[in-house]
Amino acid sequence: MGMTMTQKILAGAAGLDYVEAGQLILADLDVVMANDITGPMALPIFFKMANKVFDKDKVVLVPDHFTPNKDIKSAENAKAIREFSYSQGLTHYYEIGQMGVEHALLPEKGIVVAGECVIGADSHTCTYGALNAFSTGVGTTDIASGIATGKAWFKVPSAIKIEVTGKPKSFVSGKDIMLHLIGRIGVDGALYKSMEFMGDGIKNLTMDDRFTIANMGIEAGAKNAIFIFDEKTKEYIENHSDKKYKTYEPDEDAIYDETVVIDLAKVRPTVAFPHLPGNAHTIDEVEAMDKIYIDQVVIGSCTNGRISDMRRAAAVLKGHKVDSKVRVMILPATQKIYKECLNEGLVDIFIDAGCSFNTPSCGPCMGGHMGVLASGEKCVSTTNRNFVGRMGHVDSLIYLASPEVAAASAIKGYIANPEHIN
């Protein structure tokens, strides 16, 4: 019996020739990551187990959720992991001036490469599957143990094959594709499974598309999401990292619970209505409804804060003004992306349109700061979750969309089709 990509990586990390779904394994870890929310909670547990991290090059701490610190508690949390990083001599600690949203920063810095086994104390750690790595979010106890020992227990997941065909049309990107997919299979459609993306259509997806899609694997309940390795993956890794890597593809007789086929040519710009990422509606369906007027737009996050996202949003906004009743926040995911926005003139486009341009941060995504919603307010966001109270008041409403739909909506003052912005 053959193995999936995920099963092969886990077998290698566990020093085994073969693993199967449901098997419990103890695996060696290549990267262990935590942030300013999860890191401080893990430290007391870590110190009950060890005094030194297992490898100062493989433990990564990024304060990105409540930074720049919004209050005393967030400042204390950042201080805790800062002092820990310095005392342990960690190679990878990134704070203000160097920092970014963790799931954009780690690939950009070349910290994660193909074939690696990665855990992070954040559910969107599955992002790195775009690089043909196994990566998954875990709790603080597992992170503490990982930092101390460099190992973690896993139950090997079964898998869903996502067969991608065709080529996306204009105004369709990774966000639309993943919202379309989650809308089809549901928020528990891949529960504790590996979502494995392959097929001829993969070549028509940029690396940024793949990061976005893998990022939202958890929104379908997946243990991880992973893409087949190709020339685009190779080029990205070798342009960002000097680490050695190993690539994996599934065996021909690998066992998948089901196969889902996505024809990219048939995917339309898609919006997820409150209060689930799976509550997906095409922009055509939205246009057939009464106008949904909005109060706020957020463009950024670990899902859609990369330079291509900034370019897509700016292309729609150029020469336009945002509606006077709409607040618009632009958050590039890293300092490097921030600088690219400056050099390419995108900052001018955003500010001239009436947007605020903010420092790299998770901030508004989880209602942390820089964009908390009041009762009854509606927001179009390029983030990944629209649960009740996710971005502020429990009576606020969040609509998930691509950067282009978000930008068009900012101009019109209601959820709008970017195809109709001249």
The CB-side HSE value for 288 (13 A sphere, CA atoms) comes to: 5
Instruction: Quick: pLDDT tens for 339-370.
Output: 999 999 999 999 999 999 888 887 776 778 88
Helix, strand or coil for residue 393? coil
Instruction: Quick: pLDDT tens for 249-278.
Output: 999 999 999 999 999 999 999 999 999 999
Q: Sketch the domain layout of the chain as residue ranges.
A: 5-264, 270-420
| Sign of the CA dihedral running 416, 385, 39, 58 | negative
**Does the N-terminal peptide bond of residue 369 adopt cis geometry, omega within 30 degrees of 0?**
no
Given a contact cutoff of 8 angstroms between Cβ atoms, the answer to whether 146 and 152 are in contact is: yes
| Sign of the CA dihedral running 69, 71, 73, 79 | positive
Residue 111 confidence class, pLDDT cut points 50, 70, 90: very high
- Of 146, 110, 148, the residue nearest 128 (C-alpha): 110
- Of 194, 188, 202, 348, the residue nearest 277 (C-alpha): 188
Q: Do 5-264 and 270-420 agree at the fold level?
A: yes
Calculate the alpha carbon distances from 179 to 5, 215, 399 in Å.
23, 12, 11
What's the chain's average pLDDT?
A: 94
Residue 155 confidence class, pLDDT cut points 50, 70, 90: very high
164 vs 201: CA distance, rounded Å: 5
What is the CATH number that goes with domain 5-264? 3.30.499.10
Instruction: Quick: pLDDT tens for 275-305.
Output: 999 999 999 999 999 999 999 999 999 899 9
Instruction: Quick: pLDDT tens for 207-234.
Output: 999 999 999 999 999 999 999 999 999 9
Helix, strand or coil for residue 166? coil
Helices 140-149 & 38-49 angle (0-180, nearest 10): 50
Average pLDDT over residues 188-214: 96
Task: Assign 3-class secondary structure to 272-321.
Answer: ECCCCCCCEEEHHHHHCCCCCECCEEEEEHHHHCCHHHHHHHHHHHCCCC
Residue 69 confidence class, pLDDT cut points 50, 70, 90: confident
Q: Which two tokens stand for residue 272?
A: 């997820």
Calculate the alpha carbon distances from 64 to 141, 144, 189, 342 in Å.
20, 19, 30, 21
Which phi and psi (to 5°) does residue 237 adopt?
Answer: -60, -45
pLDDT of residue 344: 97
286 vs 418: CA distance, rounded Å: 12
**Phi/psi zone of residue 97: left (φ > 0), alpha (ψ -120 to 50 degrees), beta?**
left
**Residues facing residue 34 across a β-bridge:** 61
378 vs 297: CA distance, rounded Å: 9
What is the homologous superfamily of the domain 270-420 according to CATH? Answer: Aconitase, domain 3 (3.30.499.10)
Q: Which two tokens stand for residue 70?
A: 């919004």
pLDDT over 80 (residue 39): yes
